[in-house]
Structure 1
Amino acid sequence: MNGETLEQVDNFKFLEASLSKDGTCTAEVRFRIARATASMTSLQKIWRSNISFKTKYKLYHSIVLSTLHYGCETWTLMADTEKRIQAFEMKMEPLLAPVKRRKLQWFGQVTRHDTLSKTILQDTDEGGRKRGRQRKSWLDNVKEW
């Protein structure tokens, strides 16, 4: 990039979001679900209190859902990760639709501007295709939706 060689790493953590070289997000989704569950558990006294439902709902959205959705724009959703999110939804409310919406919004924002993110997003791997079934990519999610 600009005449400099960039170091290749297997995993990269940036602002508490973990990105992996192979594009999978299973570990990140597990981590986010665990954090959101911990947030729910820490609010047990509030859920049992006499606070209005409207206030509880706002707390749920601002604490629990924001914890779960943090960095979801970078996730490559495969069948197993979607199942994990849907299992968490069974406890709460629909969560997969907002993840998809936020990811598509980010894709639109990146493709409208000439930035490093757009360059990276549109870049392809050097070399030929690997043998066997091709792994689903981040862009495959966008095209599918």
Structure 2
Amino acid sequence: MDLDMDDIFGAYEGEDDEGFNPSRLPDLEDELQPMNDMRRDKVNQGGEERDFTDNAELLAKLKSMKGASKHTTKRSLPKLDAARLTGERGIAVLPKVFEHVYLKGRNNEAEDLKVIMHTLQHWGHRLFPKMPFDEVLERVERLGARKEVKISSDGRNNSEVASRIAQAKTNFQKMKTVLTNKNISIRTRRRALECYIEPILMYGCEAWTISKQTQKKLEATEMWFIRRMLRISWTAKKTNDTVLEEAHTTRLLISKIRKRQATFFGHVMRREKLENLVTTGMLEGKRSRGKQREKLIEGLTDWLKAGKSLEAIEAIKDRKKWRTMIANAVKQGT
């Protein structure tokens, strides 16, 4: 029987021994089974074997066997299942899971964070058994993008702030007939703005890290509201100070956000639970090159003029002192 070896093993031509993938070799018993079946077909009728005269048929079968050995079935990953992530076994069960997790506390932040990540990986494996933990986090992030607060895996809140601004402007346009009505006093319209529009803009702001760029966007949004309430076009070439004088107000949005952040941060630090550990914990490793990203506690310290971050954390323990510091910062309008 003349077989063309180049046709059979042509797929492996040009590969070195080091680059040869042994996982592609077929299973010997599985490949010999069709050959044994063909040999049974050659069993004689009347005591003589029937030889194959057409080698093309045999080559076709061998080539089909080679292709079948390469064929692999790819299992599709489960789709984004909001019901599974938000169900009883999903995100809702996390508080109960961490009730049984023992954390050592201060001076053991690195070990405690390892325990937290191990617990989260175990939860993710129970929820999606056939999915890597990184993929689980991506699905949680995509789910968060559909809900009220956008979750970002890199810890930044630029997309969340942009989404809040867009939603606030959209709702402002829906109430345009009231908020821009000059028959209503500007004081009443500002109160309506604080009641209906600003809560949409500041939803979840307690967790924002406000950089200089983010602060400029928020201040520009505040002026966008005031200019439209007064029906002042950009072609009027009026400065922001002039517009604020006509509205009988000042810039208050950043102070409101900082006040909510400081109040919430005080509760978190005094509680000394998981949220406290995540906020103050330190990770092993080296800092990245360049200027470091601003932290929430650093922004609050600058706003409160509390000196260093450690001094602000110590002041949080005294509830009355912390409230006094917040009230003084709000009065200064910083």
Per the TM superposition, whether the score is higher than 0.5 is yes
Aligned length: 145
The answer as to whether partners of 1:23 and 1:76 remain within 8 angstroms in 2 is: no
Matched, 1:29 2:200: no
Aligned partners of 1:36 and 1:64 also within 8 Å = yes
Are 1:23 and 1:137, in contact at CA under 8 Å, matched by a contact in 2? no
> Kindly, what percent of the aligned residue pairs are identical?
30
Q: Which runs of 5+ in 2 are unaligned?
A: 1-97, 102-114, 122-133, 227-250, 304-334
Match for residue 103 of structure 1 among 261, 275, 286: 261
Task: Report how far residue 57 of structure 1 moved.
Answer: 3.5
Gaps of 5+ in 1: none
How many angstroms does 1:61 deviate by? 1.4
**8 Å contact from structure 1 (residues 76, 138) kept in 2:** yes
1:5 maps onto 2:119 in alignment: yes
Structure 2: distance between partners of 1:30 and 1:101: 21
Moved over 4 A (4+): 49-55
Residue type of the alignment partner of 1:115: K
Separation in 1 of the partners of 2:290 and 2:177? 51
Partner Cα separation in structure 1 for residue 266 and residue 195 of structure 2: 25
Partner of 2:120: helix, strand, or coil?
coil
Instruction: Please show how residues 1-145 of structure 1 align to structure 2 within 5 Å.
Output: 2=101, 4-7=118-121, 9=137, 11=141, 13=144, 16-47=148-179, 48=181, 55-91=188-224, 92=226, 94-145=252-303
Which letter does structure 2 place at the counterpart of 1:73?
Answer: E
Structure 1 position 34, deviation (Å): 0.7
After TM superposition, give the deviation of residue 84 of structure 1 in Å. 0.3
Supply the AA of the counterpart residue of 1:77: I
Q: Which structure has more helix as a fraction of its residues?
A: 2
For 1:124 and 1:131, how far apart are their aligned partners in 2?
18
Contact 1:25 1:81 in 2 (8 A): no
In proportion to residue count, which structure has more strand? 1
- TM-score under structure 1 normalisation? 0.83
| 1:64-122, Cα deviation, whole Å (9 max, x unpaired) | 01001110010011111111001112123531111111111111111111222112111
Please state whether the residue corresponding to 2:200 is helix, strand or coil: helix
> Computing the radius of gyration over CA atoms, which structure comes out larger, 1 or 2?
2
SS of equivalent to 2:290: coil
> Which region of structure 1 is more displaced relative to structure 2, 62-71 or 13-22?
13-22
Distance in 2, matches of 1:105 and 1:50, equals 37
Give the aligned residue type for 1:44: K
Q: What residue is the counterpart of 2:112 in the other structure? A: none
Q: Distance in 1 between matches of 2:222 and 2:168?
A: 11
Q: Residue 52 of structure 1: CA displacement?
A: 6.0
